[in-house]
Structure 1
Amino acid sequence: MNPTIALECIDCGRVFVPADERLVCPDHDGVGGILDVQYDQSGAREAVAAGVGEGIDDLWKYAPLLPTDGHAVDLGAGGTPLLDAPTLSRELGVTVRLKDERGNPTGSIKDRASAVLTSRALAGDESVLTCASTGNAAASLAGYAARTGLDCCIFVPADVPEGKAVQPLVYGADVYAVDGDYDDAFSLCRRVAANREWYDCSAAVNPYAVEGLRTVGHELAEQSRASVPDWIVYPMGNGCGLAATWKGFREFAELGIVEECPRLLGVQAEGATAIHDRFTGERARAGGETQADSIDVGHPHNAQKACRALEDSGGATVVVSDREILDAERTLGRTEGIYAEPASAATLAGLESAVDAGTVAPGDSATLVVTGTGLKDTASARDLVDGVDHVPDTPAAVPDPE
């Protein structure tokens, strides 16, 4: 079953048939023209609702809603837990839950996108997969390419954390560290992919990346249908993850599986605030840097999708500093045993800021999407901790815990 019926340009509304395998609208001179996948969901409610409440093994539970032409590359993405966070809830005065994406096959939420992208690549007889990435999408696509036997070429910024550069190499991908930032890596990836007819899986342009990511919204809707949170808190880099989560959750509301939708709280780091600036109407800030590399995107191509999702949900955005992000990374570990990468910890920093500002009220409920594991970037955490205590080999030398 393939529910896809059209690809619609979010800028001009021009519609294309999926058989074209077009990634962007040609009417925008390479700027904008992002496409949104449209579906015929007649009959989808019966197919999906029948399994609600019966557990979620992986994202393919929602295959009737996914544009994969019957192909389904399975590596175990999805089916991640929704955890209570009692200590954080007490400290913040807000009921906090954590959608923990760290257990995906390559350690991040991007595996949801890669599952759908590689499935479409197989259906389209593609031979080489490529993407530009700040790290997590690179590792994810490489892992899924290895699973399918397809070649994979990755473009990353020169300063990508070592762990995120090594991981796709282990999967057998060719990794190119491009002099410059994510925008430079993205530009080179686009040019090479066009010249060599590689299948570009970059979330900045490939609309099917969003379709895989939207399954986190499906899962959240199913897992929280008895008590929908007031807020879903999501870190924003390119904007596609937040937009996808909203699309998935809203679909389940439209199918009658949940009765209401949450508001979105999008979080950006001080060094990369483009979506926040656009949504709030604030003057665009000069580009900077952030240690939260997964959301370090200066010119997010999915900003319009993200802003529409924020507006549709009655949501809000917040900007946090690197210090607040790193403090939140330590707090997540100390309070709930969650070791998250900085971009994921940004959700807690953002929630704390929103509570302080009164945007999130006392007694509200909020679900933080923990998008990736801290094991991807141990260097950023090194400054947060005191280090290992060296002691003599005698019991008396070992102090009691403080």
Structure 2
Amino acid sequence: MAMEHVTTLECTLCGTEYDPDQIIYTCPEHEGVKGILEVEYDYDVIHDNFDADLDGNIRSQWKYKPFLPVHDDAEVVTLEEGGSSLLDAPNLSEELGVTTLIKDDGRNPTGCFKDRASSVSVTKAKNDGRDIVICASTGNAAASLSGYAARGGLDCRIFVPGDAPEGKLAQPLVYGADVLAVNGSYDEAYDLSMEATEKYGWYNRNAAVNPFQVEGKRTVGLELAEQSAVRGEVPDWFVFSMGDGCTIAGAWKGFREFYDLDYVEDTPKMLGVQAEGASAIHDTFHEHDDIDEIADTLADSIAVGRPRNTIKACRALKESGGTSLLVSDDDILAGEKLLGSTEGIYAEPAGATPVAGVKEARERGIIADDETVVICTTGFGLKDTESAKQATGDAYRVDPRIEEVNDLYGEAQPAAADD
């Protein structure tokens, strides 16, 4: 086996380096999970093995296998995740007053962005001879890991907060996973999953600490870079919601790599959007004194009180020249309805949070009239239909009589006569 393009795992706090072929989650020189590790690469090796003829034909994220931290002979466990289109959004652009594109990752096989990371994690677990994979999740990562574990022939055990949406609990059960609904918050479910990892030695996919999971997520940045190159212009802003901070950190890392390799000529600014009730990364980035570790937002996928990848997320915002902001739950629901009614894209609340973020950024003058924005939606709306009902209201209830249709829309106008 060989993984020559991966040079080391480096602690983001103290710089201590570790062998990338060992199973290690955080730097043991620090208490808790603060010593998050960064995967470092030999980009000369990557460049030699990657076909840099960028044509925009991206069937899956594994087009970028030379960038991914897996062994050369590893059996890839895939459902053809990634490769989502970069869509023009003319109707939404008119509503927001700025040219807007959409990267709709709710189209991934299990309906969420996290399939990018799960494919990498199950590939690595299987290659390492592991039989059981686990994670803690507000729902999406649990469903995603369960699907890929089934695909890879591994057992899966997941820890979710007891109030996770029913759709997100049903999905992993269909995939055959053991679902442990913890009577507590996401952070309590997370802590329990880490205890189980230490006690039983199960392979933990938690993107918050498993250094290889962010590397799967960074394929969205690689794809956006290639798609930008094909379009002939790099958009000014990429907008992501933030929970643990892994997604925006990975997206920036991937795009920056293409820039450093001279595959694209410019880089975007990153806009990170958090819910007002789960604002720890935003508060850290803006150096606020009080950081609330209790998450309270209906956007369950980003309801994280103690994000583990704050350092990487803040670094992405700073290096890119971007920023972060907060939006209310009401704004998030309005964003969900706006996205669906203008462009026919059904996103769960966390996936629609960037729409609310762009609207807020426009009102505050952060995004200028002449700039171009890419919104990344990270989860499909059917995962949380209760929130969608809050965003839209109920269906009209009518008896099977045309008079009731008339009451809603008025009398029908006569059809125009043919010329």
Q: TM-score, normalised by structure 1?
A: 0.97
C-alpha distance in 1, partners of 2:48/2:54? 10
Secondary structure of the corresponding residue to residue 317 of structure 2? helix
User: What CA deviation, in whole Å up to 9, does each residue of 1:356-400 have, x standing for no partner?
Assistant: 111111111110110001110000111222322233334454347
After TM superposition, the structure 1 = structure 2 runs for residues 191-210 of structure 1, keeping only pairs within 5 Å, are 191-210=195-214
Deviation, structure 1 residue 255: 1.1
C-alpha distance in 2, partners of 1:125/1:4? 20
Letter in 1 for 2:280: A
Contact 1:49 1:257 in 2 (8 A): no
2:365 counterpart residue number: 358
User: What CA deviation, in whole Å up to 9, does each residue of 1:49-99 have, x standing for no partner?
Assistant: 444115000011001111111321121100101111101212222110000
Distance 1:325 1:187, change over 3 A: same
C-alpha distance in 2, partners of 1:173/1:180? 20
Deviation, structure 1 residue 30: 2.0
User: Which residue of 228, 233, 237 corresponds with 1:224?
Assistant: 228
Secondary structure of the corresponding residue to residue 224 of structure 1? helix
Secondary structure of the corresponding residue to residue 169 of structure 2? helix
C-alpha distance in 2, partners of 1:106/1:318? 29
1:107 counterpart residue number: 111
Deviation, structure 1 residue 43: 4.0
Distance 1:99 1:4, change over 3 A: same
1:245 counterpart residue number: 251
Secondary structure of the corresponding residue to residue 363 of structure 2? helix
Q: Is 1:7 matched with 2:9?
A: yes
Q: Is 1:234 matched with 2:236?
A: no
User: Which residue of 337, 343, 347 corresponds with 1:330?
Assistant: 337
C-alpha distance in 2, partners of 1:294/1:300? 12
Q: Is 1:172 matched with 2:179?
A: no
Counting matched residue pairs gives 402
Distance 1:54 1:388, change over 3 A: closer
Contact 1:275 1:300 in 2 (8 A): yes
C-alpha distance in 1, partners of 2:189/2:343? 36
Contact 1:276 1:317 in 2 (8 A): yes
C-alpha distance in 1, partners of 2:162/2:65? 37
Moved more, 61-70 or 268-277: 61-70
C-alpha distance in 2, partners of 1:29/1:386? 47
1:160 counterpart residue number: 164
C-alpha distance in 2, partners of 1:295/1:384? 18
1:61 counterpart residue number: 63
C-alpha distance in 1, partners of 2:250/2:362? 25
C-alpha distance in 2, partners of 1:53/1:108? 25
C-alpha distance in 1, partners of 2:125/2:245? 23
Contact 1:93 1:363 in 2 (8 A): no
Contact 2:56 2:227 in 1 (8 A): no
Contact 1:342 1:374 in 2 (8 A): yes
Letter in 2 for 1:277: D
Q: Is 1:32 matched with 2:39?
A: no
Structure 1 moving runs of 4+ over 6 Å: none
Contact 1:270 1:288 in 2 (8 A): no
Secondary structure of the corresponding residue to residue 159 of structure 2? strand
C-alpha distance in 2, partners of 1:93/1:16? 48
Contact 1:274 1:298 in 2 (8 A): yes
Q: Which runs of 5+ in 1 are unaligned?
A: none
Q: Is 1:77 matched with 2:84?
A: no
User: Which residue of 180, 187, 191 corresponds with 1:183?
Assistant: 187
Deviation, structure 1 residue 278: 0.3
- Of structures 1 and 2, the larger Rg is shown by 2
Q: TM-score, normalised by structure 2?
A: 0.93
Deviation, structure 1 residue 299: 0.4
Contact 2:159 2:182 in 1 (8 A): yes
Deviation, structure 1 residue 31: 3.4
Q: Is 1:389 matched with 2:393?
A: no
Distance 1:354 1:280, change over 3 A: same
Deviation, structure 1 residue 20: 2.0
